[in-house]
Homo-oligomer: A and B are copies of this chain.
Amino acid sequence: MTAYSQMDRAALVREQAAASARFEELKGQGLNLNMARGKPGRAQLDLVSEGLFKVFQKPEDFVSDGVDCRNYGELSGLPAARRLFAEILGCQPSQVFVGGNASLQLMYDTISKACTHGLLHSPRPWCREEKVKWLCPAPGYDRHFKVTESFGFELVTIPMTPDGPDMDAVEEAVKDPAVKGMWNVPKYSNPQGYLYSEETVRRIAALHPAAPDFLLMWDNAYCIHEFEGEFVPFPDILAECAKYGNADMPVEFASTSKITLPGAGIACMAASEANLAYLTKLMGIQIISYDKVNQQRHVLYLKDRARTLELMRRHAAIMAPKFRAVTDTLDREIAPLEIASWTHPKGGYFVSLDAMPGTAKRTLALCREAGVTMTGAGATFPYGVDPNDSNIRIAPSLPPVEELRSAVEVFCVCLRLAALEKLLAK
C-alpha cells in the first residue's frame, strides 16, 4: 500500500477502479447500518435493565431520607441522588441539583433562563443585550452548538487541540464583554475523545472574562466513561474556579444516560451554592419536582461511586471491541494511504477523523449510498459548516460488532473513493 500522494495518475486510476468495484460489491449487500449517534447498543441496555427495574421490592424502597419519592416535592432532587452525583463529580451534595432524564434539557434551560431572566450576575436578561457571542471549541458537539445558535447567539469557533481548546484564543476572546459563555466537554471530548490537560483547566478556571455573567458550560458527559485502561481522575471544576475567584462561573452537567439508560436515566447540574439557589428559584416556576422515583431507582441500583465504576467496566467490555474495530481497520486500511488522520480515544463515545480537505461531504454521501448512516459532515462545527469539509465523527457504539466491521469497511472504501475523485480532478 502506497500513500496516494506518492502515486502517479495511472496508479491512482487503477486504485480508483479497484475501490469502485469494491464499493459496488458492498452496495449490493443492501446494508442498513448506523454510526451517526452516540447511542448505546442493545447489549448495554440489557446489561443495565436486568437490575435497574427490580429495585422496588418493598414499600420502604420508595422512602429515601424520610422522603416518599412518589409524591411531589424536593425540587433539587433526592438528597441521596445529590450525594451520588457529588461523589462521582468530586463536589459537594449542596452544589448538586438532580433533574430529569436529560442533561441537555438542564443545559438548555440554564441558557434559556439567562436569556429571559438573566443569571446571578447579569446586569440584564440576555434577550435585552444587543449581541451575545459564544465560544465553541470545534470540532465539538453539534447539539451544544444548536442550542446557542437557536437563541441567536453569534458562535465563535475556538480551535481544539489534544490538550483542549486553544487557550490563547479563549483568553483573547473573553476580553469582549459580548462573549457570554463557552461550551466544554472536558473529558473524552465529543468528538475527539481528548482530555483537557491540567494546564488547560487551570487557565479556564483563572479566566478574567469581561462579561460579569460569563457562563462556563462544563458538560462532563463522559466523566467516568473509560472503555480502555484505568479510570482517569478529573478535577472538580467548581473548586478550581473558586480558587481563582470564579466560583459562580461554571455550571457542570452530567447524567447517567450512558451509565444506565439513554433517555431514561437521571441528569444533574452542579454549581456554586449561590448559583444553585438562584437557578433553583427559577426552576421552581417551571416544575414542581422532577421524577424522584427514577432518582431513587438509580440510587438503589448504582449505590455509590465504586459500584458505578464497576458497572462502567462492564460497559467498557462491550464498547472496547467496537472502538478497536474502527481504529484497527482505519490503521490498517487508511493509514498507509495518508489521506486521513483520526483519534484513538480511551473513553467517550466517538472517534474524530479528519479526511483529506474537501472530501468529508462526498465521503458521507457515498456511505449513505451504500447504506451506512454517519453524523452529517460539518455537524461538528458551529452552524454546521466545516470550513475545510474534512471532519467526520464516527459513533461506533450502536451496531453489534460484526455489523460495525461491515460499516467501517464501507466507510474506508468511501474515504478512498472521495480522496481519489479529488486527486484525479486536479
Residue of B nearest to A49 (CB): B70
| Residues in A287-330 with C-beta less than 8 Å from chain B | 287-294
**Given A72-B262, A261-B70, A263-B292; A104-B287 close (CB under 8 Å):** yes
Contact of A115 among B46, B127, B287 (CB under 8 A): B127
| Residues in A337-359 with C-beta less than 8 Å from chain B | none
Determine if A46 and B59 form an interchain contact, defined as CB atoms under 8 angstroms apart.
yes
- What 0/1 readout, one digit per residue, does chain A (36-55) give for beta carbons within 8 Å of chain B? 01011010011001000100
| Residues in A263-279 with C-beta less than 8 Å from chain B | 263-264
Question: In the docked arrangement, what's the CA distance between A422 and B263, Å?
Answer: 57
Residues of B within 8 A of A37 (CB): 72
Determine if A56 and B59 form an interchain contact, defined as CB atoms under 8 angstroms apart.
no
- What 0/1 readout, one digit per residue, does chain A (90-102) give for beta carbons within 8 Å of chain B? 0000000000111
Determine if A291 and B72 form an interchain contact, defined as CB atoms under 8 angstroms apart.
no
Determine if A102 and B263 form an interchain contact, defined as CB atoms under 8 angstroms apart.
no
Is residue A112 within 8 Å, beta carbon to beta carbon, of the partner chain?
Answer: yes
Contact of A62 among B49, B290, B291 (CB under 8 A): B49
Is residue A73 within 8 Å, beta carbon to beta carbon, of the partner chain?
Answer: yes
Question: In the docked arrangement, what's the CA distance between A127 and B127, Å?
Answer: 7
Determine if B150 and A285 form an interchain contact, defined as CB atoms under 8 angstroms apart.
yes
- What 0/1 readout, one digit per residue, does chain A (136-154) give for beta carbons within 8 Å of chain B? 0000000100110011000
Determine if A263 and B288 form an interchain contact, defined as CB atoms under 8 angstroms apart.
yes
Is residue A388 within 8 Å, beta carbon to beta carbon, of the partner chain?
Answer: no
Residues of B within 8 A of A151 (CB): 116
Residue of B nearest to A38 (CB): B72
Determine if B53 and A68 form an interchain contact, defined as CB atoms under 8 angstroms apart.
no
Question: Which of A72, A102, A104 has the most chain B CB atoms inside 10 A of its CB?
Answer: A72
